[in-house]
Amino acid sequence: MPKAVLGEKTADADTESLASNDDTPGFDDTGIPLVDSESEDDTEDEDEDEPALRYKRLGGSVPGLFEKDTASTLRACERFLVLGTHWGNVIVIDIEGNLIKQWRAHSATVNSVSVDLDNEYVASAGDDGRVVVHGLYNDDITIVDYSRPVKAVAIDPMFSRKRRFVCGGTGGQVIMYEKKWYAKGDTILFTSAGPILSIQWMDSLVAWACDEGVQVYDVGRAMRITQIARPEGSPRADLFTCRLQWRDSLTLDIGWADFVQVVVLKERAPDALGPLLYAEISVLFRTDFVVCGLAVYRSQFLVLTYGDHETVDQGRVDSNGGGQERNRNAQAPELRVINRNIEEMSSDALPLDGYSLLQPNDYALAYCPPATPGEDPDTWFILSPKQLVAVRPRGLADHVQWLTERENYQQALSDIEDAYAGRGPWAMYRDQVKEPEYQAIGQHYAQLLMDAGDSAEAAKVCLRVLPRTGETESVAAWESWIFAFAEANALQLVAPHIPTAGLSSTVYEMVLAFLLTSDIAQFKELVFAWPPTLFNAFSVALAVEDQLEKTTGDREALQETLAFLYDRLNQPAKSLKYHLELFTVGVLDRIRRENLFDAVRDKAELVMRYDDHELGGEARSLGDRCEAKGVVLLTDNTDAIPCSSVVKQLVSSPEHLHVYLHTLLGKDAHLGAPFADLQVELYAEYDPAKLLSFLRISTYYTFDRALEICEERGLVPEMVFILGRMGDNHRALMLIIERLRDVPRAIEFAKEQNDPELWSDLMVYSRDKPEFIVGLLELGGTLTNPTKLIRSVPQGLIVPDIRRALTNVLYDYHLQVELCTDCKHVLDADCELLSEGLRRVQHQGLAVDGDQMCLVCQDSLAGSVALSFWCGHVFHDRCVLHPDVLKKTMLKSMSESALGRRNTRLMHGSIEQRRMLTQSKLDRTMLIRQYHPVCPVCAEYDQKKMAQMHTGWSSSERKDHGEEPTAELLPPMQALLL
């Protein structure tokens, strides 16, 4: 288990210790850390935590290089590493350990190397007092000799343009070397009482470590920004090398002896005095080990450590007493991960070659940024004199392998899925585990669950990992697992998620058959969801119908399924049956829209039940029920849905039959004629108030049967009506009198029948019944003789309200007399008015056009004496009158010439002349009428008409054939030519 590291984040807090881990992993041939035998025995029974990092020795050229030389310093870049050796060599290798370039830059140990931002120049500093800047891609070499050992060097990140570096050593001076086109020289930036041990350059800021602490210098402004003093109680500055690491341009991580600090540079207020930036210590904690290297790993500290608190204490003693003695039984270095809460998350002991003889300053930790940020993992390199180890975060493949070895398949699958989705810490390693490997892990885990009897969890795993492509392997995997779940009687767990393509129809039908008997709801869901090509819909429908007959529970789901299947099979006659039983919304509209009337020919009862459902459970009036969609559909389409078929189906449901026949009566009374007797019985049972109306409008029922039905139910008014239609008026009247005792109704019945015998019977029956006597007097009107009725009343009979009744009779009689008198006056006035109008019309003249032709001789009437009849026919007088009559009727005072004058001349003559001519015409007309002349045209027509009458024409037929009134009774008149 990781051990907690106690510490603090403030500069003035007490120092607390870090505990180290006793586990000491070695390395196998692949670079995986191994745990020694002693630690295996101690940790075998404990819970094992997954390592956070994985280690690998660099191969390639590294082992050969270290056979003859030992490493002293290390610098890592994105694409290569730079090593300095104790023999003064500078070596450039790639991240796999293959040699790129090598040169001998110094005659003594190389203490520090630095690389510019463009990775084009490498600077090195050695104990020979020289600083050498060597071009990697050219022959450019800069050598500066300071005559004293140089312990640290930092090249300008923009060296290719500015040609400068900063170095320091045992002389205690921090020197900036700068080469310009006109000169070159050194600038002393700082002078310390002790040696300069470490220098790091970031952008325009340079940080170095000396006896006074860590100094930060702004090269751009040529001023020192701040000094971070060494914590109180620290060992001698040169005893343990200070580890400086710029996290970014304003954050500096410091590891020195047993202290770790994080310094953040912040900008001052605009109006504040002093440098633009100032330093603030954000994290400070003390450990019980020596810091040999410091880096950042996922917002956590990655610390290479050496020894324990005894090493630190010994260092303090050496600081007071003199030099440091080399420990010949040193512990292996450890790589620890410490979080922001200063808690140790993991610790790995590194048994590097010769570690027992090495000191803290012999180790180095370098961070290699990824070539593609966000995609490639971070890499750190640990350097010892004889070994170079690459440290990387454990990838997804490592993580999954570690989990599967411990049979934690569930977590392995979850982490793989998160990585595929771009979530979690393993997202950048998602390419390490391929889809087939993920599926294999999941299926193996599912098989273990199935063997353990946990089918539910196995189903969840299968649904996560099984492929959903149409490839052969995918189909085979799905079919195999489907049969496996079928054998385990757990097919319902995977059925909803089975691929809807690629599998054989046998598999789908097997699934449906299983669910039909185990989970009807899921069965229905799959039938609705699956494409129709996956299974034989007809076979499934037959199986569902068989199951429906056996099922007493959830029948609705099966009915919905059958309706859906038969719709899919294009069998509306079967599907509509289930739609109507389920009261599917809009099914009746669909029948009309798709003209499916033949499909519901035998489903009248279901249609009527559908109406009941639509109307709700409340009692509805007959009118509402007759307007429902179902019954309207049945009655509007009697051609496709015969009435006889509907009646047969509804016989077992008389109330529905009554609604149907009543609606049919409103549509067409003739359609319900064969069922009139049945309808009488239905009205008598369910709606007696409408029976009398039906009896009045229908003529198809049997009187005897209708009378029998009414007698059974005591429907007296209906019996009266039927008896009246049967002609048994006396019996009907007796029912009204004896059973209804309704005087107005009896009188009304007698009026309707208009039978004098009924009135006599009514008067005989009423003579000893006061209420009937009063009723006849008040309501009998002119149809009864009040005098006869009063005389028939027995002596001594007390008749209440007789006075009022007699008063009303007398008043009515007086009113009738007055009405008759007034009517006579009105008729006389009308006759007088009409007679005057007739006389005025008969005395009017007829205008005759001079261009008209005589209907006998067909000559023009112009210049001749014309004779016109009231029928409108005009003739020459000579063509109509007999010559003797013509001679007798000719006036001597009226000559031919006078009669034949032109109208214009007449109209322009004197008034006396016109008056004499008109008088002559009138006189002649009176003479002609004495001989009763006849219009020849009308006379001929009358002869033809008489002949046709003998052939059998009726008067209406004669009228229809356009008979005109005869003209023989209409006197002729002499026409005035215009």
Mind listing the pLDDT tens digit for each residue in 333-390? 999 999 888 888 888 899 988 888 899 999 999 999 887 776 677 899 999 999 999 9
Q: Evaluate whether 291 touches 256 at the Cβ level (below 8 Å).
A: yes
Query: Is the whole-model pTM more than 0.85?
Result: no
Pick from 126-135, 310-319, 816-825: least confident: 310-319
The residue with tokens 């049979």 is: 407
Looking at residue 496, what is its pLDDT?
Answer: 85
Mean of pLDDT values over 262-269 = 90
Q: Is the pLDDT of residue 731 over 80?
A: no
Each residue of 168-206: b (16+ CB within 10 Å) or e?
bbbbbbbbbbbbeeeeeeeeebbebeebbbbbbbbeebb
What is the tens place of the pLDDT at every residue in 932-955? 788 888 888 888 888 877 665 545
**Cβ count near 157 (within 10 Å):** 17
- Name the more confident of 162 and 971: 162
Q: How confident is the model at residue 468 (pLDDT cuts 50, 70, 90)?
A: confident
For 252, 514, 516, 561, the CA distances from 524, given in Å and listed in that order, are: 67, 12, 8, 6
Percent share of the chain, pLDDT over 90: 25
Each residue of 542-561: b (16+ CB within 10 Å) or e?
ebbeebeeeeeeeeebbbbb
- Name the more confident of 974 and 592: 592
Q: How confident is the model at residue 969 (pLDDT cuts 50, 70, 90)?
A: very low
Q: How confident is the model at residue 193 (pLDDT cuts 50, 70, 90)?
A: confident
**Cβ count near 124 (within 10 Å):** 27
What is the tens place of the pLDDT at every residue in 242-264? 999 999 999 999 998 889 999 99
Q: How confident is the model at residue 764 (pLDDT cuts 50, 70, 90)?
A: low
Looking at residue 769, what is its pLDDT?
Answer: 65
Q: How far apart are CA 673 and CA 664, in angstroms?
A: 10
Pick from 159-173, 515-529, 871-885: least confident: 871-885
Alpha helix stretches (DSSP H) within 843-902: 877-880, 883-889, 896-899
What is the tens place of the pLDDT at every residue in 766-789? 666 666 666 666 655 555 666 666
Q: How far apart are CA 225 and CA 894, in angstroms?
A: 159
- What's at 509, amino acid-wise? E
Mean of pLDDT values over 137-153 = 93
Looking at residue 150, what is its pLDDT?
Answer: 95
Q: Look at residues 650, 651, 652 and name the one whose alpha carbon lies nearest to residue 631.
A: 650
What lies within 8 Å, CB to CB, of 474 at 6+ separation is 466, 467, 468, 499, 502
Mean of pLDDT values over 221-247 = 87
- What's at 439, amino acid-wise? Q
Mean of pLDDT values over 409-423 = 89
DSSP structural state of residue 746:
H
The residue with tokens 């009807």 is: 520
Each residue of 265-274: b (16+ CB within 10 Å) or e?
beeeeeeeee
Q: How far apart are CA 322 and CA 890, in angstroms?
A: 189
Q: Is the pLDDT of residue 37 over 50?
A: no
The residue with tokens 């989990």 is: 403
Q: Look at residues 302, 171, 159, 318 and name the one whose alpha carbon lies nearest to residue 237.
A: 318
Looking at residue 111, what is its pLDDT?
Answer: 95
Q: Is the pLDDT of residue 208 over 90?
A: yes
Q: Is the pLDDT of residue 534 over 60?
A: yes
Mean of pLDDT values over 520-534 = 88
Average pLDDT taken over every residue of the chain? 81
Looking at residue 774, what is its pLDDT?
Answer: 63
Q: Is the pLDDT of residue 46 over 70?
A: no
- Give the range with max mean pLDDT: 266-280, 634-648, 783-797: 634-648
Mean of pLDDT values over 418-443 = 87
What is the tens place of the pLDDT at every residue in 862-912? 777 788 887 778 888 888 887 877 777 776 544 444 444 444 444 455 677
Count the residues in the chain. 978
DSSP structure string for 6-20 = ---SSTTSPP--BPP
What is the tens place of the pLDDT at every residue in 567-605? 999 999 999 999 998 888 999 999 999 999 999 999 999
Q: How confident is the model at residue 854 (pLDDT cuts 50, 70, 90)?
A: confident
Q: Is the pLDDT of residue 734 over 80?
A: no
Looking at residue 917, what is its pLDDT?
Answer: 73
Q: How confident is the model at residue 328 (pLDDT cuts 50, 70, 90)?
A: low
